Amino acid sequence: MTQISMQWDGTTTGDATLAPYGQDEVAVWKQAVLAYDRTAQGVLRRDDSVVIDGTTYDLSNLLEATNPSSYTLRVASGGALVDGVPFFSSTNEDFTTTDDGTAITNPGSGSNYYRVVLRKDWSAQTIRLAVLDVNTSAPAAVTQTQGTTWEISLATVEITSGGSVTITDARVWCGPYVSTNNIVNDAVDDTKVGDRVPQMYRRQGGSATSWRTSGTTTYTPGAVRMQAGSLQITVPAGNVSSAATTITFPVAFSQVPMVFVTVDTAPQSTSTEVATVAAFLTSVSTVQVVVTRHDPATTTGAENVTVNWLAIGTE
């Protein structure tokens, strides 16, 4: 197990014993956090590894918190920027107690709540993983006091009296600094670096959360998810015929998204009729949409038509 943070004043306390820093070490940490400032802190969203002082730090596991067994809380390897200081962890870190030594366990009744954090400690000159003390009403809040202690949250945990363990991801991805609720131009907003999506600049509607609520209020989208696809619907022969199909989104939205559907081609019919066709929505949820294809004309054979769809909403 190796955890390090840098750079620190002096050469004798905590991780400052790594000093003087070699040019390779300085180059690595600059590359890892290039274009980030101290206010744009969070987990480094990388799918590669770095080598510092002979130790390999796999960043692709992204400091994810899991529950491998019983009441053990595990944080995978990865890297982060905490109040302007880079942090790296090379292996899984398992916790069975909180930072005050109390065992992580289920309560006699109700629930126990915990929070997994990265803690920057000015006195110790370190950044380390920790689990905050148990709370019976909600996870303990992080401490963010410049010059003393600065924590960022990685996950919250609820353990019920029945022994159920629920981990809620609380990671924030480190990125170039932008103002609150704004997205930097050409930003990657939905998927890992490399899978780029267009910038969603503004939207109008009647709800800050539901994109399908009508209105004229202008909102600045935060975390935008865009998904699209193409499918074929077969409509049986008959008079004024229609058929529906259900599309399950590849990844669920947190709120019901806006969905658009269009007919791509004229129907491929076994008959000789040229029909007028339309595609429309009959229901939309956070996980799926039902698309109905309607033909008002009489057909003598089954018809197939391709329908394209686009869904835009909140991650």
User: Hey, where are the domains in the chain?
Assistant: 3-169, 226-314
Check if the beta carbon of residue 116 is closer than 8 Å to that of residue 66: no
pLDDT of amino acid 193: 44
Which residue carries 């049986």 as its tokens?
236
Give Cα separations from 209 to 96, 150, 178, 183, 285 (angstroms): 38, 31, 21, 17, 14
Residues of the chain with pLDDT under 50: 177-194, 239, 267-275
CA distance 16 to 26: 14
pLDDT of amino acid 160: 93
Is the C-alpha dihedral spanning 41, 42, 46, 51 positive or negative?
positive
Q: Tell how far CA 2 is from the center of its chain.
A: 26
Q: In angstroms, what is the C-alpha Rg of the chain?
A: 26
Label residue 146 exposed, middle or buried (CB < 10 Å: 0-12, 13-18, 19+): exposed
78-89 residue pLDDT tens: 999 888 788 999
pLDDT of amino acid 269: 45
pTM over 0.75: no
> Which of these, 104, 99, 97, 96, lies nearest to 124 by C-alpha position?
99
pLDDT of amino acid 154: 94
Q: What is the CATH number of domain 226-314?
A: 2.60.40.2080
CA distance 184 to 176: 8
pLDDT of amino acid 188: 45
